[in-house]
Structure 1
Amino acid sequence: MTRVLVVEDDPQLVRALVISLQARRFGVDAAPDGATALRLAAARQPDVVLLDLGLPDMDGIDVIKTLRARTRVPIMVLSARRASGEKVAALDAGADDYVTKPFNMDELLARLRAAVRRAESASAAPDAAVLVETEHFTVDLVAKRAVRDGRDVRLTPTEWHLLEILVCNPGRLISQKRLLSEVWGASQSNKTNYLRVYMAQLRRKLEADPARPRHLITEPGMDYRFENPARGSAAEGIS
């Protein structure tokens, strides 16, 4: 059973989340403050954390930093803070996703399932396969790090999510609907312009010739795949 830690001081929202998660066969623990959250995270080892930033005893950013120093568990922020600076601070501290309140419950659950799948894929991959090396760049799936020409490539969380899905499925066509659903949520599955923009950004950051990509390929019909012609077996075993 997938276990979720809900860190939220609003009792009504906690109740709604617990009911929705338990109805979908998730195990749920709830913490009303940061100190309780850190204690439960250590004791219960959740598979994903849903975290409000406005906690009564400490800022959620500090909770993220403390959790990230101890574990790679996916952390999804649920917050009423909409300023881009707040989002950047949370993501830079180690959060994997940021959802603003009020939110659609179905979309939140879809994002949660996607976060769990990504974590399971990374943990299930053999040690030799968590480092994907191409002729021009390297992707470390455990450290969540991309390197090109010996330098770290700064990727946004959205860019990383796209790249991770593709490199974990080498040579396989991934539909635009699946990518949109897993990265942006089911309600955004028709926003194909999002995908075009972010794939273009990834190519600019990683491909030697973004206009003629060798690794991040678009197929007719707008499906996508990751190819590694120079090191065809480097990513084998990742699924």
Structure 2
Amino acid sequence: MVENLKTPATLKRVFVIEDDAATRESIAMSFEFTFSDVEVLQFDRAAGVRQSLEEEAPDLITVDLGLPDGDGLGLIREIRTISDVPILVVSARDDDSTLVAAIRLGADAFLIKPVSLVAIQAHVEAVLRLQDRPARNTESDLIIELASCTVDLGRGMVEVNGVEESLTKTELYFLTTLGSVSGRIVPMEDLKTGVWGDPDVADATVKMAVHRLRQKIGDDNTEHPIIVNHRSVGYSLAER
């Protein structure tokens, strides 16, 4: 039996949009194990989602990108025209362009198939813990101005001294997670879950990722760093 996660918020209704029946049932089961009174509505295609969204008002949606009647990215775009509901992408696609596109369109997290029940639970917890942040950023707010560089989350690029360089998936997740909470501290466990999908990932893995990201964004000011390490607590982002 899977132990229920301690979540900062409760879910009353979830939409699971997935054309594979076994995967859809597995995702639905992860919510039913975690939230005792949750109602899970399952869809095997994009058709009907918009109307149900307007009528049912879910607290969270999972979206597969390979739907039989359209691209899941298009569905995310459509959802964002009418709702700010958290969106968790669960997809077999693992290329950088798809990841960036999903984030730019408004997805809150991205899991690559096959995914475990525990990984889904952990990502849902991380998304919910960030739901007390200010209202969702507009497209222009996908640009983060830092002391040494400009980060374009939508394009997955960083510009330092006029030179652009692409961000890796891990770096993009890291900066998106820190940037979404307006300089507040992201606890280490939430950071590990949101970026790596595993709250038990080694601290050394996080430190190495931060070290490489600091090199990429020119974060070499030890007295006033851009990525601030709050010892034994977590990290925050010092915006300009």
- Regarding TM over 0.5, the answer is yes
Q: Name which of 12, 20, 31 aligns with 1:10.
A: 20
Where in structure 2 are there 5+ consecutive unaligned residues?
1-9, 154-171
| Matched residue type, 1:95 | A
Where in structure 1 are there 5+ consecutive unaligned residues?
123-129, 131-139, 231-239
Query: Identity of aligned pairs, percent?
Result: 23
8 Å contact 1:107–1:187 — kept in the other structure?
A: no
Pair 1:224–1:62, CA change in 2 (3 A): closer
Pair 1:85–1:199, CA change in 2 (3 A): same
8 Å contact 1:203–1:210 — kept in the other structure?
A: no
The question of 1:148 aligning with 2:145 is answered yes
The question of 1:83 aligning with 2:95 is answered yes
**Structure 1: how far apart are the matches of 2:107 and 2:60?**
11
Q: Name which of 73, 76, 81 aligns with 1:61.
A: 73
More helix by share: 1
TM superposition score normalised by structure 1: 0.70
Instruction: Name the structure 1 match of 2:41.
Output: 29
Instruction: Name the structure 2 match of 1:237.
Output: none
Deviates more, 1:41-50 or 1:209-218: 209-218
8 Å contact 1:180–1:192 — kept in the other structure?
A: no
Residue aligned with 1:34, SS: coil
Pair 1:223–1:168, CA change in 2 (3 A): closer
Residue aligned with 2:123, SS: helix
TM superposition score normalised by structure 2: 0.70
The question of 1:197 aligning with 2:209 is answered yes
Pair 1:202–1:154, CA change in 2 (3 A): farther
Alignment deviations for residues 159-217 of structure 1 (CA, whole Å, 9 cap, x no partner): 11133357234xxxx6534421343222552153345434763797597x644325642
* Equivalent residue pairs, number: 207
Q: What is the root-mean-square deviation in Å for CA atoms of aligned residues?
A: 3.4
Instruction: Name the structure 2 match of 1:103.
Output: 115
